[in-house]
């Protein structure tokens, strides 16, 4: 595969439950290791669950500035109120920005307010794809989802993120299944796969398997920051 050039502005979309916010947090933390000035903008104000700004303390401890909800503390009723300075990192050419956009096509419409910052060739709009979600379990449904986001946002998806998983029960085979699935979408839409998310404990094994088979999975090791352990406990 041809290497993907990292853009300063990387925005992320994906269906509800795809793992979009988890990806954004892990990706922002990885970027902070490479760049002095980094930020995360949480534009997912339509979905009251799994918001990246909830991990403000974790992100800021890594040197990542967080922008999003007007309210510094989360409140019971989610209000669509962005801070006035949400545009600051987009305007600062020295800041590498990760943008967590609303999950579905309706949520993605908020990006219209920031359209002038998404100049063709100067940003990436990545779509998280999780084959294990019923809404994107088939190639046809996943493509329909991508095209709907493009139509509503007015922007083109520039990369796919394979994030097929089963939370803490994810196996290498799940990641491989998702990679093959995204490969079909990639071929049909001419959109490259830029990452395959993989539980950190499995990355070495997947990397080794990829080297043996000649497959570049473009692995991004991920930890589960948004999923509280008790949610996964069996009764």
The residue ranges of every structural domain in the chain are: 9-227
DSSP 26-52: HHHHHHHHH-SSEEEEEE--S--SS-G
Assign domain 9-227 to its CATH architecture: 3-Layer(aba) Sandwich (3.40)
Q: Rounded to 10 degrees, what is the CA torsion of 40, 26, 229, 20?
A: 70
Q: Encode the chain (235 residues) as per-residue pLDDT tens digits.
A: 444 678 999 999 998 888 898 999 999 999 999 999 999 998 876 555 555 667 888 999 999 999 976 455 544 444 445 666 888 999 999 999 999 987 666 666 777 788 899 988 889 999 999 999 999 999 999 999 999 999 888 899 999 999 999 888 999 999 999 999 999 999 999 999 999 999 999 999 999 999 999 999 999 999 988 765 545 554 4
Cβ atoms of 149 and 35 within 8 Å: the answer is: no
């Amino acid at each position: 595969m041809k290497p993907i050039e990292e853009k300063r502005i990387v925005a992320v979309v994906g269906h509800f439950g795809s793992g979009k916010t988890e990806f954004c947090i892990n990706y922002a933390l990885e970027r902070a290791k490479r760049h002095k000035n980094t930020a995360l903008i949480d534009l997912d104000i339509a979905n009251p669950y799994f918001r990246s700004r909830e991990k403000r303390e974790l992100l800021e401890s890594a040197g990542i500035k967080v922008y999003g909800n007007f309210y510094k503390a989360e409140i019971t009723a989610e209000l669509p109120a962005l801070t006035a300075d949400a545009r600051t990192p987009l305007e600062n050419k020295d800041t590498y920005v990760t943008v967590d956009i609303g999950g579905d096509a309706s949520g993605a419409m908020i990006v219209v307010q920031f359209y002038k910052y998404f100049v063709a060739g100067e940003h990436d709009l990545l779509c998280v794809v999780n084959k294990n979600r019923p809404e994107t379990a088939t190639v046809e449904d996943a493509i329909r989802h991508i095209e709907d986001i493009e139509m509503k946002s007015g922007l083109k998806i520039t990369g796919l993120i394979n994030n097929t998983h089963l939370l803490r029960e994810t196996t290498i085979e799940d990641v491989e299944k998702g990679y093959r699935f995204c490969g079909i979408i990639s071929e049909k839409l001419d959109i490259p796969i830029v990452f395959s998310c993989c539980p950190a404990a499995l990355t070495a094994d997947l990397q080794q398997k990829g080297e043996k088979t000649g497959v570049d999975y473009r692995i991004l090791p991920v930890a589960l920051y948004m999923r509280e352990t008790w949610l996964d406990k069996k009764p």
